Amino acid sequence: MNAIDLRSDTMTRPTPAMRAAMAAAEVGDDYYKEDPTLNRLQERAAELLGFEAALFVPSGTMGNEIAIAIQVAPGELVLTDERSHVIEYELAGMAAHAGAIPSVVRTEDGKLTADAIRGAVKPAAFNRPRVALVVLENTHNLAGGTVSDVAEMQAAITAAHELGLRVHVDGARLWNAAVALGVEPRALVAGADTVMVTLSKGLCCPVGSLLAGSAELVARARRQRQLFGGGMRQAGILAAAGLVALDSMIPRLAEDHAHARLLTDAMTGARGARVAPARTNIAVATLEAGNAPEIAAALKARGVLGTAMDRVTLRLVTHHDVSRADCLRAAAILGEVLA
Ligand SMILES: *Cc1c(COP(=O)(O)O)cnc(C)c1O
């Protein structure tokens, strides 16, 4: 029997509808802005997120790094949660590419609140580095797919702007947050300066993320993407899958959320495990014994693939390519392995 792969929602493969759309896509050279399918995807994403423009980028990481590079000068600070993706998983690109200095805040559930932002920004002084940008992550990956709601997002964005800071939203899984809350994605990010969203995770596309912002910022982002060697040619092949994703793959994320809940329910009450009910598609258990790698290995031996994020954190991510039956089986195995 095939393993139940809960390592990441990046395990999703393009759907038959995506492959058909990719095969039929009308394409052109994006250096000349002449790929009609790519142009449509960028317009569609901008509209969905409530921004003037959007730019297709090869990865979420490049989208975040472009957003930082165009909004932060060397020696300026980027304020973010200490477990955010831009801190943990981007090779300190903000320092390497932009000369930016991370200023990290310990948060509850990965939520960088308005109060936390106000508390972290010290009064300006001639010899004090300036905070230039706040990065908010929603949903929050390492905190376990936690969701910041519209009021929390809007309060944080307003607080940052009142302090003269720009705001970038790492919305790799913004779609999951919107579905969990039953709100439009644009409601969560209204007023932010830039937003990155990903197509290649729960939405099943093979490649791609988008960076949205004002027309002026997106023009700068296009230059920065070029500097990173990320210029596109006939990317309409990829954009065709992206259009299918935005048109049809977002509402079904609710199924992934219900499946993740089956997993956290199965782990709740296990001795030495701290588990919060999954809010979206990420189930996380904190294992006090510090044996997450051993538990992951025991699960693997029984056909369930998960990730030990560190010694204490076991992460399981649900997605389109694992069924309810798969998740019920994984839940039963989890219960046994943790018992
Ligand atoms: C996956 C992820 C990214 C990066 O996306 P890639 O396409 O893998 O580079 C950025 N932020 C968060 C929160 C993510 O989960």
Q: Which fold has domain 16-248?
A: Aspartate Aminotransferase; domain 2 (3.40.640)
**Range name among 20-24, 32-36, 271-275, 303-307 with the lowest pLDDT average:** 271-275
**Contact between 230 and 247 (Cβ < 8 Å):** no
Q: Which of 68, 111, 170 to mutate to test the pocket of ligand 1 (most atoms within 8 A of CB)?
A: 170
CA nearest neighbour of 130 among 91, 93, 99, 92 = 99
CA nearest neighbour of 156 among 140, 144, 142, 141 = 140
Domain limits, CATH 3.40.640.10, in the chain: 16-248
Q: What is the pTM of this model?
A: 0.97
Q: How far is the CA of 49 from the centre of ligand 1 (A)?
A: 18
> Which pLDDT tens digit goes with each residue over 25-43?
999 999 999 999 999 999 9
> Which pLDDT tens digit goes with each residue over 233-265?
999 999 999 999 999 999 999 999 999 999 999
How many distinct helices (H) and strands (E) make up the chain? 14, 13
139 lines ligand 1 (CB under 6 A): no
Say which amino acid occupies 138: N
Domain limits, CATH 3.90.1150.10, in the chain: 252-338
Which residue minimizes the CA distance to atom 3 of ligand 1? 60
Ligand 1 atom with minimal separation from the 139 CA: 13
Q: Which residues of 224-250 are buried (b: 16+ CB within 10 A; e: fewer)?
A: bbeeeebebebbbbbbbbbbbbbeebb
Confidence of residue 1 (pLDDT cuts 50, 70, 90): low
CA nearest neighbour of 118 among 145, 155, 83 = 155
Q: Which fold has domain 252-338?
A: Aspartate Aminotransferase, domain 1 (3.90.1150)
The alpha carbon of residue 145 and the mean position of all alpha carbons in its chain are separated, in whole angstroms, by 9
